[in-house]
Amino acid sequence: MTTLLITGGAGFIGTNFVRFVRRVRPGWHLINLDLLTYAGNPENLADLAGDPRYTFVQGDIADWPTVSSLFAAHPIRRVVHLAAETHVDRSILDPGVFVRTNVVGTFNLLEAARQAWKDLPEDAGCRFLHVSTDEVYGSLGSEDPPCSESSPYAPSSPYSASKAAADWLARSYFKTYGFPVLITNCSNNYGPYQFPEKLIPFALCQALEGKPVPIYGAGGNIRDWLYVEDHCAALLEVLERGRLGETYNIGANQQRTNLELVRLLLQILAEMRPDLGNRQSLITFVPDRPGHDWRYALNTQKIADTLGWRPRVTLEEGLKRTVAWYLEHQDWLERVRTGEYRRFLETQYGQAVVQEKEPACGGG
Ligand code: NAD
Ligand code: TYD
């Protein structure tokens, strides 16, 4: 039986990935190591509690004894490393924890796996997938060609710099030790279970409550949006069939300005909840994020040509599924919006955005 360690499995992509692998590889034993920070939610996977092929371990990847003892206790042969601090705005407010989790935590996992696997035969099938982001390549201009796997790194924020450092550690383990690592760099994900600090679920929450939907700067910054289930399928392809030591870009080729994206999101919300009326007037331009990257775009030819992976879900379809999920899970949203979350929003956006409500909700 394959034993797969998933780190950060109680977060957004992790929850979707655990569910995806459970469905398509039902025989695998999944171990989910997650610290349960503000972004991790055990409720997401509560229905797996009695499953003998699922083990949840609450622990910190930056704590060496936690990580090394896990490899001693279980015959882990595969790792999908998702655990990270992930929000750019939080990395600007408090960068230290990003270095600790994203750099030291990744080092601990690489080193514990290297020590556990070094005397195993090649046919043991050990593989370590380090999951990273398109943000490591830095900001593109509107007309620049998309980044390929060999584009230079130029991270801008403490978040992307800490992910870049982790990527290079992973690359060094392949070069120095022949360690069986793979790296993926993916564009912005969206879909069910995303914590409502990121643009799409945050805009949706604000719009549902008739509060301002803040857009940084003039809303011209461009991101490429991938539905999370497409990302999960790509991760499994790379884990199973990717070439060791290689990097794979994963993206949707669905670039939009932030303003275009939020307008589309609010239009879909209005179609699904006509009782709310037109919420476009809630869009509010607020001061720009410091060091805000203008555009991310990825060339995804390599994963398409070598592994045959392509995104299946269009942006419009993915947004419809996402809005539907959040509308059906408003109790989930209520529970994750804790005191810590509300304090973060006040620090980040100020009282006006967090508390102010439209005078009359539901107007046309
Ligand atoms: P998330 O913030 O939703 O979840 C992160 C998870 O990691 C949480 O469950 C949290 O509890 C856990 N965690 C944090 N610190 C930990 C620690 N010290 N030890 C153990 N667990 C810890 O993140 P996400 O959006 O699901 O992203 C997952 C991964 O994918 C990250 O590595 C991120 O860099 C990468 N990624 C995300 C996106 C995106 O758009 N969300 C895009 C590309 C790459
Ligand atoms: P985000 O979801 O934080 O992802 P990332 O910064 O990792 O790309 O933000 C996506 C884009 O939306 C980014 O350009 C910043 C912008 N943004 C806003 O304009 N307003 C917001 O309230 C948030 C959270 C993000």
DSSP 235-271: HHHHHHHSPTT-EEEE--S-EEEHHHHHHHHHHHHHH
Contact between 254 and 200 (Cβ < 8 Å): no
Q: Would you state the pLDDT for residue 360?
A: 43
Q: Would you state the pLDDT for residue 352?
A: 85
Question: What values do phi and psi take at 101, rounded to 5?
Answer: -75, -50
Instruction: Please give the mean pLDDT across all residues of the chain.
Output: 96
Diameter of the chain measured on Cα atoms: 68
The DSSP secondary-structure symbol of 282 reads G
Q: Would you state the pLDDT for residue 361?
A: 40
| Residue 341 token pair | 């979350």
Ligand 1, closest atom to CA 40? 9
The answer on pLDDT for 364 being more than 70 is no
Nearest-ligand number for the alpha carbon of 66: 1
Cα distance between residue 94 and residue 167, in whole Å: 21
**Residues within 6 Å of ligand 2 by CB:** 88, 188, 198-199, 202, 214-216, 221, 223, 258, 289
State the pTM of this model. 0.97
The answer on pLDDT for 359 being more than 60 is no
| Residue 301 token pair | 């030819």
Average of pLDDT values for 172-176? Answer: 98
Average of pLDDT values for 57-71? Answer: 98
Q: Would you state the pLDDT for residue 345?
A: 96
Q: Is 234 left (phi over 0), alpha (psi -120 to 50) or beta?
A: alpha
- Per residue in 280-294, pLDDT (tens digit) is 999 999 999 999 999
Q: Strand, helix or coil at 318?
A: helix
Average of pLDDT values for 75-87? Answer: 98
- Per residue in 219-272, pLDDT (tens digit) is 999 999 999 999 999 999 999 999 999 999 999 999 999 999 999 999 999 999
The answer on pLDDT for 362 being more than 80 is no
How many C-beta atoms surround the C-beta of residue 175 within 10 A? 10
Domains parsed from the chain with CATH numbers: 3-190+227-250 (3.40.50.720), 199-219+255-295+313-352 (3.90.25.10)
Contact between 61 and 67 (Cβ < 8 Å): yes
Least confident of 64-78, 144-158, 250-264, 350-364: 350-364
Q: Is 159 a catalytic residue?
A: yes
Q: Is 122 a catalytic residue?
A: no
Residue nearest to atom 20 of ligand 2 (CA): 215
Best mutation site among 16, 20, 31, 37 for ligand 1, i.e. most ligand atoms within 8 A of its Cβ?
Answer: 37
The DSSP secondary-structure symbol of 147 reads B
pLDDT tier at 122 (50, 70, 90 boundaries)?
confident
Q: Would you state the pLDDT for residue 171?
A: 98
**Residues within 6 Å of ligand 1 by CB:** 7-8, 10-14, 34-37, 39-40, 60-62, 82-86, 101, 105, 131, 133, 163, 186, 188-189, 195
Q: Would you state the pLDDT for residue 355?
A: 80
| Residue 226 token pair | 């991938």
Nearest-ligand number for the alpha carbon of 260: 2
Catalytic pick from 134, 197, 230, 237? Answer: 134
The answer on pLDDT for 363 being more than 80 is no
